[in-house]
Amino acid sequence: HGPYKIYYENGNLKMEGAFLFGKLEGMVKVYYEDGRTKVEGIYIKGKEEGVHKLYDRSGNVVMKETYSAGVKQGPVTKYYENSSLKMTGVFENGKEEGDFTLYYESGRQKLTGCFKEGKEHGPYKVFYESGELKMEGEYVNGLEEGYYRLYYKSGVVKVEGTHNNGKEEGLFRMYYPSGKIHVEQFFADGKTHGLYTAYYESGKVKQEAKFENGVQTESVKYDEQGKKEE
């Protein structure tokens, strides 16, 4: 009951707060060995309440989390050392909920997505630091589902296909930076299954193969003139 302090071996304060009926109550602070603040936040009846802050050794805020009765509830924000945003999101009942955004240190968006009850759910997009779209797809209950596309910086599609329950399913296509088709292959339950065809950028067939559950069973290769390679 009353004020409470813990010290490092060097004599500097490590933690300070107060107890009420055996539980932390009021502002609690934790310090680095050099005396700088590491964590600070309010406790009520031994549980985190309101905004809690985490600092790096230079004194910069690197994370803010919001609590209600010891459970994450409300906005959470992470920062880079230069104080620019690193991540923004929201928690409900201790789980991620709704829109989450990640940022590059430059301030540009890195990723946008959604959560539902702590799992990725809904469309997401990933960006190059220069701003161009890099990847897009969708999650359902934490697993990738439906369309998926990966892009070159130029905006040309690099890879496109479909996911089912978090695994590749059906036809996937890969492209050269020019936009010309590079590879066509089929997947079943996340494994290459069925026909596989690779092309030269000229459009001529480079390789034809067959797969069964990820194992190649047949393969024929061609040179750029269309002649079979021995």
Per-residue pLDDT of the chain (230 residues; tens, 9 = 90+): 789 999 999 999 999 999 999 999 999 999 999 999 999 999 999 999 999 999 999 999 999 999 999 999 999 999 998 899 999 999 999 999 999 999 999 999 999 999 999 999 999 999 999 999 999 999 999 999 999 999 999 999 999 999 999 999 999 999 999 999 999 999 999 999 999 999 999 999 999 999 999 999 999 999 999 899 87
Give just the sign of the alpha carbon dihedral 168, 171, 174, 178: negative
Q: Is residue 169 part of a domain?
A: no
Q: How many CA atoms lie within 13 A of 187 on its CB side?
A: 17
Q: Which residues pair with 114 in a beta bridge?
A: 99
Q: Is residue 40 part of a domain?
A: yes
Domains: count for the chain: 1
User: For residue 35, what are the domain limits?
Assistant: 1-83
Q: Is residue 4 part of a domain?
A: yes
Q: Is residue 100 part of a domain?
A: no
Q: Is residue 158 part of a domain?
A: no
Radius of gyration of the chain from its Cα atoms, rounded to whole angstroms: 26
Maximum CA extent, the chain: 87
The token pair that represents 146 in the structure block: 């439906």
SS3 content of the chain, % helix, strand, coil (to 5): 0, 65, 35
CATH number at residue 28: 3.90.930.1
Q: Is residue 216 part of a domain?
A: no
Pick from 91, 35, 44, 43: which is nearest to 63 by CA? 91
- Please report the pLDDT score of residue 148 as a whole number: 95
Is pTM beyond 0.85? Reply is: yes
- Please report the pLDDT score of residue 230 as a whole number: 76
- What is the rounded CA–CA span in Å between residue 199 and residue 206? 5
Q: Residue 86 CA to chain centroid, in angstroms?
A: 12
Q: Is residue 16 part of a domain?
A: yes
- Please report the pLDDT score of residue 1 as a whole number: 77
- Please report the pLDDT score of residue 146 as a whole number: 96
Q: Is residue 49 part of a domain?
A: yes
